[in-house]
Structure 1
Amino acid sequence: MIQLDNLTKHFWTKSGYKTICEDLSATFPTGKSVALLGRNGAGKSTMLKLIAGTIRPTRGRVRSTGSISYPVGFSGSFHPDLTGVQNTRFVARLYGVDTDMLVDFVEDFAELGPHFRMPFRTYSSGMRSRLSFGVSMGIPFDTYLVDEVTAVGDGAFRHKSVAVFDKRMEDAGAIVVTHSPHMVRRLCTMAAVLEDGELIFYDDIEAAIEHHDHNLAVPASG
């Protein structure tokens, strides 16, 4: 279970003052794969980072009864001058998992070839996402945070990504940010729509998609 207690996050951007959420209280249930839907700029990726603890809320807190992954696709925790192997070993030690086993998993999964032993700063955005997804999926978290990573790569790689995700979901939950209704239906068992700092949860995936589509059809407030 992940519980948001009066969570508030706002910050300054080039376009002005931005509020992601204001005194938001909500619960993501244990063992569910929840699609997090919202228009561009609604704050979905920021919400994942708040849940992961990679950024701090303005006030309020996030509580969890289990382990939470860093946002898959977010590579900000990787050191640019370390190789993919070295970064993988560092994360393995950080989370207390076997370093060799994680390196073997990521090398096989991410399909980076010789780049796996090259500095991370030389990676393309797609390669960075592959490394991030591989490292995260190689560690047994209770909840995985996934940010559009299944859109990376060709069809074969996306198929492999979904297969690995399905395997992890046998024993874990997830919060998944995606703009693809197909992926929502394929990966998730429920959904939440983020709009104007509020989260509305749906057990009915189709109802959530309909709500999201309606939001997209009208101008954003503010």
Structure 2
Amino acid sequence: MIRLENVSKSFRLRGSLRTIADNITVTFPKGRSVGLLGRNGAGKSSLLRMISGAIAPDTGKITVVGSLSWPVGFSGSFHRDLTGAQNTRFIARVYGVDTEELLDFVADFSELGKQFHQPVHTYSSGMKSRLAFGISMGIHFDMYLVDEVTAVGDASFQEKSEAVFTNRMSTSGAIFISHSLASIRRVCTAVATLENGVLTYFDNVQEGIEHHKEHMQRRSDRVG
């Protein structure tokens, strides 16, 4: 379970103030896979990083009950001079899981081949995302934070990623950012929309998607 109470966060960007959280109070329940929707630049990834503890809210309180993954898709958790395998070993020790089991899972899942044993700074952004997703899915968390990463790779790899994620959701919850509404419908059991710092939670996935579409249409009409 993740609970945000009166959480606010703003950034100074090019001389103007950008608000990504405006006094948000919401609970992400245990065991629910929540699709997080919003336009580009709404602050979805920053919200995930705030929940993970990577950045602090300006005001308010964030409470996490149970184990929480890092934001999958955010490659800042890797040491750039270590190989993918060495980073995997390090993370296994930090989280107290079987090192060899995690190595075998990540090597097989990520499909990095020989690159798995090369420094992470030689990886493309897609390779880093596959490594991060593989490590995260190889460790049991009560809640996963996932940022668009199931869209990495070809159709076969995307299908495999979604299948593994869906399997994990049988025993865990997640906050899942994706621009694919089809993916949201397939893997999520609830939706939250973020617009102008306001987070709205929907127990019904389709209602949340329709609310998001209305926001996007109104924005398109204003721009047009």
TM range (shorter): over 0.9
Give 3-state SS (helix, strand or coil) of 1:219's partner. helix
Give 3-state SS (helix, strand or coil) of 2:183's partner. helix
Q: Distance in 1 between matches of 2:104 and 2:143?
A: 22
Q: Distance in 2 between matches of 1:15 and 1:111?
A: 43
- CA-based RMSD: 1.3
Q: Distance in 2 between matches of 1:101 and 1:176?
A: 26
User: Percent identity over the alignment?
Assistant: 56
Determine the structure 2 residue equivalent to 1:13: 13
Q: Which shifted more, 87-96 or 176-185?
A: 87-96
The Cα shift of 1:219 comes to: 2.6
Determine the structure 2 residue equivalent to 1:184: 184
Confirm whether residue 84 of structure 1 aligns to residue 84 of structure 2: yes
Give 3-state SS (helix, strand or coil) of 1:70's partner. strand
Give structure 2 stretches of 5+ with no counterpart: none
Q: Distance in 2 between matches of 1:187 and 1:154?
A: 19
Determine the structure 2 residue equivalent to 1:141: 141
The Cα shift of 1:163 comes to: 1.1
* Aligned residue type for 1:3: R
Determine the structure 2 residue equivalent to 1:209: 209
Q: Distance in 2 between matches of 1:58 and 1:82?
A: 34
Q: How does 1:5-154 map to 2 (within 5 A)?
A: 5-14=5-14, 16-154=16-154
Q: Distance in 2 between matches of 1:134 and 1:218?
A: 38
Q: Distance in 2 between matches of 1:163 and 1:64?
A: 26
* Aligned residue type for 1:152: V
Q: Distance in 2 between matches of 1:11 and 1:198?
A: 15
Q: Distance in 2 between matches of 1:74 and 1:213?
A: 26
The Cα shift of 1:22 comes to: 2.3
Give the TM-score of the pair, scaled to structure 2.
0.95
Q: Distance in 1 between matches of 2:31 and 2:86?
A: 32
Determine the structure 1 residue equivalent to 2:168: 168
Q: Which shifted more, 126-135 or 209-218?
A: 209-218
Give 3-state SS (helix, strand or coil) of 1:46's partner. helix
Q: Distance in 1 between matches of 2:21 and 2:181?
A: 24
Q: Distance in 1 between matches of 2:6 and 2:89?
A: 36
The Cα shift of 1:15 comes to: 5.7
Give 3-state SS (helix, strand or coil) of 1:165's partner. helix
